[in-house]
Amino acid sequence: MPPAQRHPTMADVAERAGVSASTVSRTLRGLSTVSPEVRARVERAARELNFAVSRQAASLVTGKTGVVAVLTPTLNSWFIGSAVSTLGPQLRAAGMDLLVYVTPDMTERADFFERLPARRNADALLVFSFDLTEEETARLDDLQMPVIYVSQHAEGCPSVYVDDVEGARRGTQHLLNLGHRRIAFFQTIGASGFAFSSNERLVGYQQALTEAGVPLDDDLVVAAPVADKRSIAEAVGELLSLRDAPTALFAEQDELAASVIWTLRKSRIDVPERLSVLGFDDHPIAEWSDLTTIAQSPEDIGRAAGELACSLVNDPDADPAQHVILPTRLIPRGSTVPLPDGGGEMGGGAAESGA
């Protein structure tokens, strides 16, 4: 019987089952080279002793830690929270643990990059931080382990992200199909570095307009910080006072779109009657605000990232620069309506409503 105040070891289990430690190890790892009866004895002994394998000891000899690390500025975000919440069970199913490095400000981040604690304590790193400097990225390149970029494209590195261009294109087409021709685009400024998606979405918007033969107009592209209601109100005001004011507005994110709607309603400007508003993300606020939006699924992204991590860790000849690009999906809600005099849906509309 093992000492009371200590965790039982394989030796304890071995003794109890009347076998050697090697056999216990083989049994518990499910190697088939163990006879059924011995296996049963070992499993019973392990259960009775409440034995759990020590990752620490195992990793010392295998060289694998059984841990996937996540680097993120925060967990308090719809997107990241959802993605990581999916990631956890996903990794667990593959027998891996999830270690989280939260670096809300520059101090913590600098510390992380200086010590890079992940390097010895994880088999792979998922990067949820969007605004890394070149220097930081370079540091990660030396990491001797798979580094996967989430929700951002990283040249030469594995990454997982949604097709922002295509999503924004489809969203803009939806507005075009509703008869809108003067469509504004509202960007965010200085967000926590979603810059990659931001640009892509603008590109998709421009593509759709160009394809439809609608001229681009710089006056229709405005920007403000998501949290700054004042700037948002001003930008919206400027748009509406244009000689040829927009009849629809595509906000780069749902939170921004919701702010716009809130601003407009406060000024007694009806949405969607006076201005159709389209968002991006399908953030919970979109449903609350009855906002038409282009949905991305953080859960799918988390799952894909987890799969990618596992495959890169376990399969030595997995493509080390694999990109997983996930689709988006238009969710029509009440904030976008046909342009009154414009003629309503002009084809393609029926297909969309299935979403």
Partner DNA sequence: GTGAAAGCGCTAACAA
Partner DNA sequence: TTGTTAGCGCTTTCAC
User: Which residues here bind its own copies, judged by CB under 8 A?
Assistant: 5, 7, 50, 52-57, 59-60, 65, 67, 74-78, 80-82, 84-85, 87-89, 92, 97-104, 108, 111, 115-117, 119-121, 142, 144, 262, 288
Q: Does 53 bind DNA (CB under 7 A)?
A: yes
117 binds, among its own copies, DNA, none (CB under 5 to 8 A by kind): its own copies
Nearer to DNA, 61 or 350 (CB): 61
Q: Does 321 bind DNA (CB under 7 A)?
A: no
Going across the sheet that includes 248-251, the strands are: 221-224, 183-188, 248-251, 276-281, 292-295, 329-331
84 binds, among DNA, its own copies, none (CB under 5 to 8 A by kind): its own copies
Residue type, 109: R
Q: Does 7 bind DNA (CB under 7 A)?
A: yes
As measured in angstroms, the least distance from the Cβ of 171 to DNA is 50
Q: Does 60 bind DNA (CB under 7 A)?
A: yes
Q: How far apart are CA 201 and CA 161, in angstroms?
A: 13
Q: Strands (DSSP E) along 103-143, which ranges? A: 124-127
**Residue carrying the six token digits 């376990």:** 314
Scanning 4-12, 67-75, 98-106, 136-144 for contacts with DNA by CB under 7 A, the matching segment is 4-12
Cβ neighbors of 247 (< 8 A, separation 6 or more) are 180, 181, 182, 183, 275, 276, 339, 342
Q: How far apart are CA 250 and CA 109, in angstroms?
A: 34
Nearer to its own copies, 122 or 208 (CB): 122
- Alpha carbon 226 to chain centroid distance? 19
CB 221 within 8 A of CB 185: yes
263 binds, among its own copies, DNA, none (CB under 5 to 8 A by kind): none
5 binds, among its own copies, DNA, none (CB under 5 to 8 A by kind): its own copies
As measured in angstroms, the least distance from the Cβ of 49 to DNA is 11
User: % helix / strand / coil in the chain, to the nearest 5?
Assistant: 45, 15, 40
Binding site for DNA (CB under 7 A): 6-7, 9-11, 18-23, 25-26, 28-29, 33-35, 37-39, 51, 53-54, 57-58, 60-62, 120
